[in-house]
Each structure stands twice: as C-alpha cells, then as structure tokens.
Amino acid sequence: MDVFQVFIELAQSTVRVSTPLILAALAGLFTERAGVFDIGLEGKMLGGAFAAGCVAYVTQSVAMGLLAAVLVSVLLSLVHGYASITQRGSQIVSGVAINFVVAGSTVILGEAWFRQGGRTPALSADGRFGTITLPFADSLREVPVLGPLYSGLLSGHSLLTYLAFLMVPASWWVLYRTRFGLRLRAVGENPGAVDTAGISVIWLRYRAVICCGILCGIAGAYLSLAANAGFTKGMTAGKGYIALAALIFAKWRPTNILFACLLFGFLDAFAIRYQSFAFPLIGKVPVQLMQALPYILTVILLAGFIGKAIPPKAGGVPYVKER
C-alpha cells in the first residue's frame, strides 16, 4: 500500500474519531463563554449515547434516537444549570456528579432492560446513520490525487460528521456576529455589567447550558448511531475530558477547537491503526502505550506547553446579584 493511500485512510479515521470531540468541545465553549465551567461533558455524551441506542432500537428510527439523545442531554444540562446557576453550587462538583451518576445508571438500566451486560441490542440499518456518498464520488475515484481526496476523505461520512464540521463556523458566527453571542461572552467576562444593562444573567447562562446539552446529545448520538451499531458500556471512553482539554488548548476559540480536536483525533486514529505495527528501529510498541497516546498528549499540553490560556474572567464563579 502506497504512502498516499495510507495517508487518506488515516485522515478519514481522524475525521471520524474527531467528530464527537468537536461537538463536545463546542458544547463546552458555549457554557464556559457564559461563565459556567462544565466538566460534565462526558456524562452528557454518555447519557445521550445510551438514550439514542435505546430509543433507536425500540422505534427502529434513527431520528427518534437522535431526538432522545438531545432531550436526555439537555435534561442533564438543566440539572447542572439548576445546581450551579440557580443554587450557586460548585460547578466542578455538579459536573463530576453527573459523570458518575450517568456512568452507573446507563449500565444498570441497560442490564435491566436488555439483559446484555449493559449494552443495547445491535441496531439495524434503519436505526443508524448511514454514510453519505457525495456527488460524483464514484466517478472521480480513479482521478490521481484529487480522486482519493474527494472520494476517500471528503465523501463517505455520516450526516452527523458533516454537521459537526459545519457547527464550527456556525458557532463562530453565533458567538461573534450575533447579539446573543455578544451578551453571552459579556456574561462570562463581567456579569455585573450585563445585569446593570437590564439583561438577565441567569437566563443567558441557562440558554448556554441548553446549547451545550444539544451539542453533547448529538455527540452521544454519533457514538451509538453512527460510529457503532448501538450503545456499549462506557463507550465515551474519556472523550468528554479530551474535548475539555481541547477547549482549553484552543483557548476558547471555535476555529482553534477544530484543529485541536483533529490533533487529538489523529493520535487516537494513529493508535488504533498501528497497535501491532513494528516500527523501524523500535519494533512493536506496547498496545497500552499506543492507547494512552491521546491522554499523554492531554497531560503534556495542559502542563504548560500551550502558552498562557486565559479563561473567561467570571468562569466557574456563581453570580450573586448585588442589591
């Protein structure tokens, strides 16, 4: 197999692995820009994946599965919002609690409902997102260079993959070119000034966590309805935490989030592809080390190799209205 073909296959795997990371990181972008730190991305993705797998199997409808994932994820976001915004509780504790509760409840409910060790039954084609073949992809496949790039890299992904990449410019436009985005960023920097202007800080932050829930739900649905044929125990495998690391690495900017998630996705795809590969001068690398590559990069980047990342000034601080 030539080098170019290997590059195409590795790049295609990178795109697929990066899809849930992009969606989850953009979800965290909305909440953190509004001043709500959300470590519960993992739990919301996992809850959405479980809901999608269950409902898609029962109804044999991929649309109903996606809707269920979004609803469950938004509900979890509202729980986080109630604890950290309305009750002014610790945002870290609330997010961690959601992760633990969802990790346990999905296994218990899955075993109680389906008796398959916490998994959902395999989905049929009607219950999954199929791949989309772009126009002229088959006819251009044999064209040198451009054919494999178009047919092998750009074409052949699920609808949610294309949606994830479209959400990057859409999120940029919402945050930097709309009144809602301006107010959202202002709430994360100086909520007192926003409140003085007669704008509800609480309502803006709730809208931010709802946006987060929608995107996390789509990310979870991708895992169980597109990347896999159903839900499996712990299928997020730390992707929510990696997305949070990518968000910090990208310094809370949508465009940077795309490249950060592609970097993490590339390492994950590389680890999956070359687990048993014998490298020149090195030989076979232990499987455990290859699987740990994305997490090792996370630690290295967050240890200070990304420069100074300055979060929103009001991030993680409950807002108390001055009387």
60-95 per-position pLDDT tens digit: 999 999 999 999 999 999 999 999 999 988 899 999
Bigger pLDDT: 1 or 58? 58
Tokens standing for residue 251: 């310094």
pLDDT at 311: 76
pLDDT at 141: 80
What mean pLDDT is predicted for residues 190-214? 91
For the ranges 1-5, 85-89, 155-159, 222-226, the lowest mean pLDDT is seen at 1-5
pLDDT at 31: 94
What mean pLDDT is predicted for residues 30-36? 93
pLDDT at 308: 66
User: 322 pLDDT band (50/70/90 cuts)?
Assistant: low
The C-alpha atoms of residue 77 and residue 311 are separated, in whole angstroms, by: 21
Question: Cα-flanking dihedrals φ and ψ of residue 158, to 5°?
Answer: -80, 165
Domain CATH number, residue 94: 1.10.3470
Strands 283-284 and 157-158: unpaired
Does 322 fall in a domain? no
Contacts of 153 (CB under 8 A, 6+ apart): 8, 11, 12, 15
pLDDT at 62: 94
What mean pLDDT is predicted for residues 215-229? 95
**CA angle, corner 263, sides to 136 and 241, nearest 5?**
115
Instruction: Tell me what the pLDDT averaged over the chain comes to.
Output: 88
Does 321 fall in a domain? no
pLDDT at 274: 76
pLDDT at 294: 74
Range of the domain at 219: 2-305
pLDDT at 275 over 80: no
Regarding pTM above 0.75, the answer is: yes
pLDDT at 139: 82
pLDDT at 307 over 70: no
Beta bridge partners of 158: 131
User: 281 pLDDT band (50/70/90 cuts)?
Assistant: low
* 3-state class (DSSP) for residue 279: strand
**Total structural domains within the chain:** 1
Does 86 fall in a domain? yes
Strands 278-279 and 283-284: antiparallel
What mean pLDDT is predicted for residues 112-122? 88
Residue pLDDT, tens place only, 15-32: 999 999 999 999 999 999
Residue pLDDT, tens place only, 124-176: 888 899 888 888 887 878 788 788 888 888 888 999 999 999 999 999 999 99
Q: What letters, b where the CB count within 10 A reaches 16 and e where it falls short, cover 196-235? A: eeeeebeebbbbbbbbbbbbbbbbbbbbbbbbbbbbbeeb
User: 305 pLDDT band (50/70/90 cuts)?
Assistant: low
pLDDT at 284 over 90: no
